[in-house]
Structure 1
């Protein structure tokens, strides 16, 4: 089982970020964190790096159910996506596969939640792929 769902987007980094956030919202996700790794590398290491952003996304109702069922599941939340600039007007977007993440948790009650979230994240990636 692959640990990520991924696609190439033929758009600028900024446009890809916008398209990604719109696709996430359409599936009910909210962005709860954004880490611009290229800026962090520049600040911390003085190193230049391609535009690379990690988005932490969440669906509050699913997160609530998961935390109610497995108190420490917050260690694996939120679901992460990356938006990576490959070259001008070519971006790569990938989302974590929550089914793989949840394999490390021995709580079968989480499987249906992880499956639902995985299906939604796959739809986000398919939506972006269709923008080609």
Structure 2
């Protein structure tokens, strides 16, 4: 299984803010946010590096995907993970949408293939823009 990963210079809060802005320009919003480092510390008293998961969604594309195959809802919204690295950078990662869709429904129909490609291009562009802006 492959994921897209990119290291971006900066702190996690700044990278998250810029990522949300960049995603918004592409029609994506954040439906959920989990700060794993905070939850783990609160629940079991252990510390890890700052680590955030964003559930991001483009409602128009999500609707099209669900119309093509309801089972794809098991992997919506798309998960984007941000992990602070020791060298002053943040790793931004997401599972390739095509692979996520295959996990949810098996073989993809042409509509899901097209949507997966569209989503991946948008997510990659949003992350790549962060490096340019840094």
**TM-score of the superposition, structure 2-length normalised?**
0.89
Q: How many correspondences in the alignment?
A: 131
Kept in 2, the 8 Å contact 1:13–1:89? The answer is no
Query: How big is the alpha-carbon RMSD for the aligned residues of Structure 1 and Structure 2?
Result: 1.5
Unpaired stretches in structure 1, ≥5 consecutive residues? none
Shift of 1:35: 0.4
1:87 alignment partner in structure 2:
86
2:121 alignment partner in structure 1:
119
**TM-score of the superposition, structure 1-length normalised?**
0.90
2:35 alignment partner in structure 1:
36
SS at match of 1:91: strand
Kept in 2, the 8 Å contact 1:85–1:92? The answer is yes
SS at match of 1:57: strand
Q: Residue 27 in 1 paired to residue 26 in 2?
A: yes
1:7 alignment partner in structure 2:
6
SS at match of 1:130: helix
Q: Residue 128 in 1 paired to residue 130 in 2?
A: yes
- Give the whole-Å Cα distance in 1 for the aligned partners of 2:54 and 2:3: 14
Unpaired stretches in structure 2, ≥5 consecutive residues? none
- Give the whole-Å Cα distance in 2 for the aligned partners of 1:43 and 1:53: 15
- Give the whole-Å Cα distance in 1 for the aligned partners of 2:6 and 2:133: 10
- Give the whole-Å Cα distance in 2 for the aligned partners of 1:77 and 1:55: 11
Q: Residue 107 in 1 paired to residue 111 in 2?
A: no
Structure 1 segments, 4+ long, off by >6 Å, are: none
